[in-house]
């Protein structure tokens, strides 16, 4: 399936302007919508390629620039995490929710989007934001790849709207087995539908083919599960 893509600028509720990468199937039908949440390095060529791949599967995708308040338009070196941490820590929950609502509203207004079938997917920092999207927006399916800090959001589980698919790397030295266990326990206790997948042979950021931790097997297998999950739920 061919796609068409371009960039747009969204007005966010706090008055800021947010760039977003847009890609969609090149057809006249209506499609489910997906909010794609970036890693900490910006809307990189890797994130754009992920967006295009999802669009090829039959989804309208919007990937917002989450650092638009502190580093608009910047793509950071993906091997230099300390540089981006000041931008990560500067992000406020209310601002992230405003950004998510702006994306959701944009999708709702598109003629080629099924307004009742919108989901989210995110990686690393974006994996956490995808969880935030699940309790902020009336989504139908959400996916988080190695989202840090989700284990600390037990009070938000009761507000989740959609089934959630979690991916983790068993070799991850940042997100530890006890963190993954806490996320699963929180979901069980909250009675929310979820799928929890740990790749014992993969590290953090195993999906990013531009980073050293890339694991081709885990990436392909997680992709297949993500697309099956979206197909079933959306």
Interval 5-20: pLDDT, tens: 789 999 999 999 999 9
**Domains of the chain, residue spans:** 3-233
Digit-coded pLDDT (tens) for 27-48: 889 999 999 999 999 999 999 9
pLDDT for 147 equals 97
Mean pLDDT of 112-131: 98
Alpha-carbon distance 9 to 95, whole Å?
Answer: 16
What is the pTM (predicted TM-score) of this model? 0.97
How many CB atoms sit inside 10 A of residue 173's CB?
Answer: 8
Alpha-carbon distance 162 to 139, whole Å?
Answer: 6
pLDDT for 3 equals 65
Mean pLDDT of 118-139: 98
Q: What one-character DSSP code corresponds to residue 3? A: E
Digit-coded pLDDT (tens) for 93-107: 999 999 999 999 999
The answer, yes or no, to whether residue 143 has pLDDT greater than 90, is yes
pLDDT for 1 equals 64
Maximum Cα interatomic distance, the chain, rounded to a whole number of Å? 47
What's the CATH code, domain 3-233?
3.40.50.1820
**Torsion sign (Cα): 69, 72, 78, 81:** negative
The answer, yes or no, to whether residue 60 has pLDDT greater than 70, is yes
């Amino acid at each position: 399936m061919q796609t068409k893509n371009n960039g747009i600028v969204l007005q966010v509720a706090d008055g800021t302007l947010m760039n977003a990468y847009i890609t969609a199937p090149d057809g006249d039908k209506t499609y489910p919508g997906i909010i794609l949440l970036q890693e900490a390095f910006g809307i990189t060529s890797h994130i754009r390629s992920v967006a295009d791949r999802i669009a090829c599967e039959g989804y309208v995708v919007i990937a917002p620039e989450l650092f638009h308040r502190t580093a608009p338009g910047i793509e950071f070196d993906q091997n230099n995490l300390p540089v981006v941490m000041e931008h990560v820590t500067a992000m406020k929950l209310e601002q992230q929710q405003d950004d998510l609502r702006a994306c959701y509203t944009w999708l709702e207004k598109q003629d080629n989007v099924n307004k009742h079938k919108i989901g989210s997917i995110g990686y690393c920092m974006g994996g956490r934001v995808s969880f935030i999207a699940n309790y902020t927006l009336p989504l139908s399916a959400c996916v988080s790849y190695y989202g840090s800090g989700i284990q600390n959001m037990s009070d938000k589980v009761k507000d989740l709207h959609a089934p959630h698919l979690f991916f983790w790397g068993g070799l991850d030295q940042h997100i530890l087995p006890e963190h993954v266990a806490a996320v699963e326990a929180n979901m069980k206790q909250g009675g929310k539908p979820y799928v929890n997948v740990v790749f014992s042979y993969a590290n953090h950021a195993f999906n990013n083919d531009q980073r050293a931790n890339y694991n081709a097997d885990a990436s392909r297998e997680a992709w297949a599960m993500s697309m099956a999950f979206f197909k079933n739920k959306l």
